[in-house]
Amino acid sequence: MNQNRLTYLLKQYASGKLTSDEQQELARLLTETDREELAQYITTIAQQNDLPRIIINEERSATTFRNIMAADKPASPAIDVPWWRINFRRLSIAATLVLSFSAAIYLITRNDKKNSVAGSQVTPVKPEKPAGRNTAVLYLADNSVVELDSINNGLITTQGGSQVMLANGQLAYVAPDKKATTIAYNKITTPRGGEYSITLSDGTKVWLNAASSLKFPTAFTGKKREVELTGEAYMDVAKDQHHPFEVKIGNVNVAVHGTEFNIMGYEDENQIVTTLVSGSVAISANANAPLTLVPGEHAVVKNNNSDMIVEKADVEEETAWKNGRTYFNGANIRQIMRQIARWYDVDVQYKGDVANLDFTCTVSRKDKLSKLLGLMELTGAVHFTMEGNTIIVQP
Amino acid sequence: MNGWRNLYFLCIFAEEHNFLHQGVSYFEKGELLLIAEGDEQVFFKFYAHYSNQIRPFLLNYTRSETDVEDIIQETFVRVWVNRDRLPGIDNIGGWIYRIASRVYLDHIERDIKHRDRKASFGEAMYGSGMVVPSERTHLNEVSHIIQVVLNNLSEQKRNIFRLNREMQMKPGQIAAELNIPVGTVKNNLSAILQEIRKALAAAGYGPLALLILMHPLTDFF
């Protein structure tokens, strides 16, 4: 085999300059030469040191890695399990229904007046929408965007030295062994109808609810570990007494050491509620002196005020979402509908005199919309129809 | 007969050893063992290190960056399905380069044949927007073959593999979860990879796969 000739032909091929004759020659060469011999020669060229240096495109390399990992990942089943087939080992659906039925009977109503619905021109459509899912968007330090989906597992990219890994709908940042030289900020946002969980480089786990965002450094290098939140998140902060963890949300600052808590600060709720599950947190509004919570309490800051109320909390209600449940315990219908709007990505409209009803019910977050609304309708106190993507709430 | 076979391998071994002297392996035994057990994080380090070594050559000897990534992808899928054998391979760098070289050659050959076909039909037939995705099809084939193997696994093997690949569980954790001996888990994982390699070989990824199966550097000791 004429090695120089082969090298020449390959270079011509690579630069798109192969003439028709040369192409035929190359084809013949490849077919007729012993593959082993060819491979050995290619290896020699490939290992030469005089090849021009190139810049590695980390994003592209990461994408390729994801594809490699996907090659032998067992394909997920495509079947949608009907709700009555879900196994009964966990919170059984039957029990949920019973609970909900009795809760429906238990219901506190203020106004029993029902407007009789005159024959309407439009046939009312029963509201239906699938539940939210594991989805989010990751904004990297260089402003590039990664759409996170539970399907693509593997390494996403490297940010400021930290490796960003994705496994089964969870994002994890693996801090570098040596100190990161550049501090890069990433931001993860969930849309309406989305939720995501992420492990930060210090091991802190964050569950992000729908319509929320978390801005965070890819590696914690300063005296404090600081992140910025909008919307709602549940955090399990890794213990590090020397580096307090701080969450900034709206006008509230939450400082923790090693702790589990929930922060809810959706703008349309007009309040920021921090619920402590375990550990200890110190909360300050408008940079005033902080108040400390004990587990089981929550702090409520209303409307960007400096006033803070600390009281006993219904921890189960406030953290149910993180455990895969939608749970209301005497919650106001409007608050319920706001949550539904966020998780099912629908709009809500009120028609007629919809009273301030309180509901108590629980369903799985995976359940379709009709399930939850159906339960509420059983009380007879409220009715739902759907127009396009809007739920109409009527007495 | 046995003696002849050993002699043959000995020759290959010697020749290879001289030809691809790369020195000590860059990765420690511990890391290779983790990769063997399916650790994606460590494998990413491994992948980054070696793929970045190969990319300069590929970039200069293929037509586009897409080609480069396709070749890297296929090369490392082959490395990955051989992960359980990594700790036993003496010159990993050389081994990877050999795989990459063959994948590269196959790619060039396919591409030229495809261009030939295109030329003989005339550009008019393909029009301006129609690109025949020969490389995509090829990569999908490899994935498909592997998925078929995975779909035909016994329930226990399927569970073990799923826990290892999706949940990134180590053999010890899988053993605890399924209440079976660790040895069983490791053997099963290895057996699954063997099945995948056999299926790839049978499907025509022949000479290379066979080479890997019969690779003297591991069979020798």
pLDDT digits (tens, 9 = 90+) for B154-178: 999 999 999 999 889 999 999 999 9
Gap from A46 CA to chain B (nearest CA, Å): 5
Does residue A103 carry a pLDDT above 80? no
Longest dimension (CA), chain A: 95
Q: Which of A229, A169, A48, A284 is nearest to B54 (CA)?
A: A48
Q: Which of A281-285, B82-86, B134-138 is predicted least confidently?
A: B134-138
Q: Which ipTM score applies to this complex?
A: 0.81
Alpha carbons B111 and B130: distance in angstroms, whole number = 16
Check: CB of residue B220 under 8 Å from CB of residue B13.
yes
pLDDT digits (tens, 9 = 90+) for B197-212: 999 988 877 544 444 4
pLDDT at A178: 62
pLDDT at A168: 66
Q: How many residues does chain A have?
A: 395
Mean pLDDT score of chain A, rounded to an integer? 82
pLDDT at A54: 76
- How remote is the C-alpha of A96 from its chain's centroid? 26
Confidence of residue A155 (pLDDT cuts 50, 70, 90): confident
Alpha carbons B35 and B60: distance in angstroms, whole number = 30
Q: To 10 degrees, the CA torsion angle through A350, A351, A353, A356?
A: -20
The tokens for A12 are 């011509």
CA closest to A36 among chain B residues:
B102
Does residue A117 carry a pLDDT above 60? no
Does residue A260 carry a pLDDT above 60? yes
Q: What is the mean pLDDT of residues A311-322?
A: 91
pLDDT at A153: 67
Cβ of residue B98 closer than 8 Å to a chain A Cβ: yes
Gap from A155 CA to chain B (nearest CA, Å): 7
Alpha carbons B159 and B165: distance in angstroms, whole number = 10
Does residue B92 carry a pLDDT above 90? yes
- C-alpha angle A239-A180-B73 in degrees, rounded to nearest 5: 105
Most confident of A68-72, A383-387, B126-130: A68-72
Residue A124 identity (one-letter amino acid): P
Q: How many residues does chain B have?
A: 221
Q: What is the mean pLDDT of residues A206-218?
A: 93
Cβ contact, residue pair A72, B196, below 8 Å = yes
Gap from A153 CA to chain B (nearest CA, Å): 8
Does residue B67 carry a pLDDT above 50? yes
Q: Using H for helix, E for strand and C for coil, what is the string for B110-132?
A: HHHHHHHHHHHHCHHHHCCCCCC
Choosing among 3.40.630.30, 3.40.50.1970, 3.55.50.30, 3.40.50.300, the CATH entry for A324-394 is 3.55.50.30
Does residue A170 carry a pLDDT above 90? no
Sequence-distant (≥ 6) Cβ neighbours of residue A228 within 8 angstroms: A214, A215, A216, A247, A248, A249
Q: Phi-psi region for residue A160, left (φ > 0), alpha (ψ -120 to 50) or beta? A: left
- C-alpha angle A54-A57-A60 in degrees, rounded to nearest 5: 135
CATH fold of B153-213: Arc Repressor Mutant, subunit A (1.10.10)
Q: Which of B131, B181, B189 is nearest to B157 (CA)?
A: B189
Q: Which of A168-177, A185-194, B8-17, B114-123 is predicted least confidently?
A: B8-17
Confidence of residue B108 (pLDDT cuts 50, 70, 90): very high
Is the domain B6-120 a CATH 3.20.20.70 member? Answer: no
Cβ contact, residue pair B69, A60, below 8 Å = yes
The larger pLDDT score, comparing residue B64 to residue B22, is at B64
Cβ contact, residue pair B73, A68, below 8 Å = yes
Q: Chain B 115-144, CB below 8 Å of chain A: which residues?
A: 115-116, 119, 139, 142-143
The tokens for A309 are 């109320």
pLDDT at B134: 58
Q: What is the mean pLDDT of residues A78-85?
A: 41
Q: What is the mean pLDDT of residues A292-296?
A: 91
The tokens for B159 are 């569970």
Check: CB of residue A33 under 8 Å from CB of residue B126.
no
pTM assigned to the model = 0.47
Residue B73's CB is within 10 A of a number of other CB atoms, namely 23
Does residue B47 carry a pLDDT above 50? yes
3-class DSSP assignment, residue B1: coil
Cβ contact, residue pair A72, B81, below 8 Å = yes
Of B55, B151, B158, the CB nearest to A56: B55
Local structure of residue A209 (DSSP, 8 states):
-
Gap from B80 CA to chain A (nearest CA, Å): 8
CA-to-CA separations, B135 to B79, B131, B138, in angstroms, rounded = 19, 11, 5
Q: Which of A150-164, A186-200, A205-219, A356-370 is predicted least confidently?
A: A150-164
Strands A390-394 and A347-350 come out as parallel
Q: What residue spans define the domains of chain A?
A: 3-49, 133-319, 324-394
Give the dihedral sign, CA A286/A287/A291/A293.
Answer: positive
Q: Which of B55, B166, B26, B100 is nearest to A60 (CA)?
A: B55
CA closest to B197 among chain A residues:
A72
Alpha carbons B213 and B216: distance in angstroms, whole number = 9
Gap from A77 CA to chain B (nearest CA, Å): 11
Choosing among 2.102.10.10, 3.40.50.300, 3.40.50.2020, 2.60.120.1440, the CATH entry for A133-319 is 2.60.120.1440
The tokens for A315 are 């921890």
Cβ burial, residue A4 (10 Å; 0-12/13-18/19+): exposed
Check: CB of residue A27 under 8 Å from CB of residue B116.
yes
Place of tokens 């399916």: B38
pLDDT at A163: 79
Q: What residue spans define the domains of chain B?
A: 6-120, 153-213
Check: CB of residue A72 under 8 Å from CB of residue B81.
yes
Q: What is the mean pLDDT of residues A88-94?
A: 41
Residues of B in contact with A73 (CB under 8 A): 165-166
Place of tokens 């600060």: A265
Residues of A in contact with B76 (CB under 8 A): 64-65, 68
Equal fold, A133-319 vs A324-394: no
The larger pLDDT score, comparing residue A66 to residue B133, is at A66
Alpha carbons A54 and A39: distance in angstroms, whole number = 23
Confidence of residue A389 (pLDDT cuts 50, 70, 90): confident
Cβ contact, residue pair B166, A73, below 8 Å = yes
CA closest to B102 among chain A residues:
A39
Mean pLDDT score of chain B, rounded to an integer? 79
Residue A118 identity (one-letter amino acid): A
Angle, in degrees to the nearest 10, between helices A58-71 and B65-80: 40
Alpha carbons B21 and B15: distance in angstroms, whole number = 10
pLDDT at B25: 61
Does residue B13 carry a pLDDT above 90? no
Cβ of residue B90 closer than 8 Å to a chain A Cβ: no
Check: CB of residue A355 under 8 Å from CB of residue A395.
yes
Local structure of residue A265 (DSSP, 8 states):
E
Q: What is the mean pLDDT of residues A112-126?
A: 47
Alpha carbons B189 and B182: distance in angstroms, whole number = 11
Residues of A in contact with B77 (CB under 8 A): 68, 71-72
Cβ contact, residue pair B60, A51, below 8 Å = yes
pLDDT at A219: 85
Most confident of A258-262, B84-88, B112-116, B132-136: B84-88
Alpha carbons A26 and B109: distance in angstroms, whole number = 9
Gap from B181 CA to chain A (nearest CA, Å): 23
Does residue A79 carry a pLDDT above 50? no
- C-alpha angle B98-B51-B31 in degrees, rounded to nearest 5: 90
Of A35, A52, A71, the CB nearest to B207: A35
Q: Which of A104-108, A114-118, A333-337 is predicted least confidently?
A: A114-118
Q: Phi-psi region for residue B38, left (φ > 0), alpha (ψ -120 to 50) or beta? A: left
Cβ contact, residue pair A53, B56, below 8 Å = yes
Q: What is the mean pLDDT of residues A359-371?
A: 87
Find the helix or strand (DSSP H, E) in which A61 lies: helix A58-71
